[in-house]
Amino acid sequence: MDEIYISTDVETDGPIPGPNSMLSLGAAAFTFNKHRMYGKTFQVNFETLPGAEPDPDTAAWWRSQPRDVYDACRTNPVPPEQGMRQYVEWVKSFGGRPVFVGYPAGFDFLFVYWYLRRFTGDSPFSFSALDIKTYTMAVLKCGYRDSTKRNMPKRWFQGLPPHTHKAVDDAIEQGHLFMNILRENLANS
């Protein structure tokens, strides 16, 4: 079975799930075969968690962004149970072995895994995620703190859509970035 790389991005109202809420989840599916996007994406906005409160620093960050960015993640929110079930069904619809891909995976997967376990009882990714920054560290043979976007080769960014802070747009962007790194790394193997 093929691995299906599920590039996932979240927008939140704080740094941790539970006390804070995931506002939006976007995902794009990529396959290793021919290094292409499946052409399928997923987007859902969530109602906030009962009793959760926006983090003051995150709220200030949202206020610094264009209003349409915040509005995009607050349009037509659904209960977390419904949205996470839809996400799991979408991930499983590819029939391959799903691999969660994030940038940074430590943040996005924290929210996604917590919501999956809380609202569906399971995770199609088990309890692991592929972090683009860590993969970059290995490919570039550099330190983790040096594996930032500004130190990545410009060719990896050619043709990428812009980073908008809209979850599905950013999932597509980072998925293409990952596939460019993967393709180059495997070509040099």
Residue 140 CB-density burial (10 A; 0-12 exposed, 13-18 middle, 19+ buried): middle
Written as six digits, the tokens of 189 are 């193997």
Average pLDDT over residues 12-18: 98
Average pLDDT over residues 153-157: 96
Name the one residue in this structure whose structure tokens are 């499983």. 92
pLDDT at 38 over 80: no
Positive or negative CA dihedral for 42, 48, 21, 166?
positive
What does the alpha-carbon distance between residue 18 and residue 5 come to, in Å, rounded to a whole number?
27
Domain spans of the chain?
A: 3-187
- In the prediction, which pLDDT does 138 show? 97
- Angle, helices 80-92 vs 105-119, to 10°: value is 110
- In the prediction, which pLDDT does 51 show? 97
- In the prediction, which pLDDT does 107 show? 98
Name the one residue in this structure whose structure tokens are 């917590």. 114
- CATH fold for domain 3-187: Nucleotidyltransferase; domain 5 (3.30.420)
Mean pLDDT (the chain, rounded): 94
- Beta pairing partners, 98: 4
